[in-house]
Structures are given as C-alpha cells and as structure tokens.
C-alpha cells in the first residue's frame, strides 16, 4: 500500500513539473558603437561570456547587436552594462572615458 502511495505522489510531482513555464530564449537587439572587426570580436565575446546569453552577433555596418538570452539569468540592461564596461557605448550605458581610451586606436569610434 505504501508503494502505491509513493508511486502516486511521484507521478503527481512529475506531471506538475511539466506545467511549470520554461525560460525561453528572448531575442532582442540594440545599438552598440564600434568601428571594426576587433570591435566585433570584443563586443560579441563580452556578451556571450555573460551567464544566460545564448548568442550575440554584432553588425559592423549597422552597429547593431542581436542577442538571444534567458531572462531568468540575465537582462538587456546587464548585457549593455557589460559591453559599456569594456569601452563601447550602448543605447542605455555610455562607456567611461577610461574604458573608451583603453580601446585599440582602430576601435575609437566617434562618440555622441
């Protein structure tokens, strides 16, 4: 009899878990200032090194970063803040003068 109750509880537990919402990857994009392929590499690697970011692709001509991320692990604000910390202005955060000045000379974009 105990085995039947245990089995019933176990089945109930697993069936309820299938109804919990799963964190789906969110697709978004935002502007990131930059100039070259070195910028592309640094912007994309900074974004993808953030826990919860699934992918990041920066378009050099459009200066636009497309990201896929899990909202339970990170946010657009955190992604943009991390990119600004390494020297690149985003829509929400401006890089510090020190971070900008530390960029390679070919990466120095015109600041607004």
Q: Above 50 in pLDDT, residue 107?
A: yes
Please report whether residue 52 resides in a domain. Answer: yes
Tell me: the pLDDT tens digits for 91-100? Answer: 999 999 999 9
Please report whether residue 59 resides in a domain. Answer: yes
Please report whether residue 6 resides in a domain. Answer: no
Tally of structural domains, the chain: 1
DSSP letter string, 7-53: HHHHHHHHHHHTTSPP-PEEEEEEEB---SHHHHHHHHHHHHTSTTE
Tell me: the pLDDT tens digits for 33-81? Answer: 999 999 999 999 999 999 999 999 999 999 999 999 999 999 999 999 9
Please report whether residue 79 resides in a domain. Answer: yes
Residue 83 maps to which CATH number?
A: 3.30.70.100
Average pLDDT in the chain:
88
Please report whether residue 49 resides in a domain. Answer: yes
- pTM equals 0.80
> Percent of the chain at pLDDT above 70?
81
């Amino acid at each position: 009899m105990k085995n039947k109750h245990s089995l019933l509880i176990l089945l109930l537990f697993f069936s309820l878990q299938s109804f919990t919402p799963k964190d789906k990857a969110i697709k978004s994009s935002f502007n990131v200032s930059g100039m070259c392929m070195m910028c592309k590499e640094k912007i994309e690697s900074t974004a993808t090194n953030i826990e919860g970011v699934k992918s990041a692709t920066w378009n050099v001509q459009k200066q636009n970063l497309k990201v896929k991320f899990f909202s339970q692990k990170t946010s657009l604000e955190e992604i943009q803040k991390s990119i600004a910390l390494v020297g690149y202005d985003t829509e929400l955060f401006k890089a510090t003068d020190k971070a900008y000045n530390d960029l390679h000379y070919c990466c120095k974009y015109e600041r607004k």
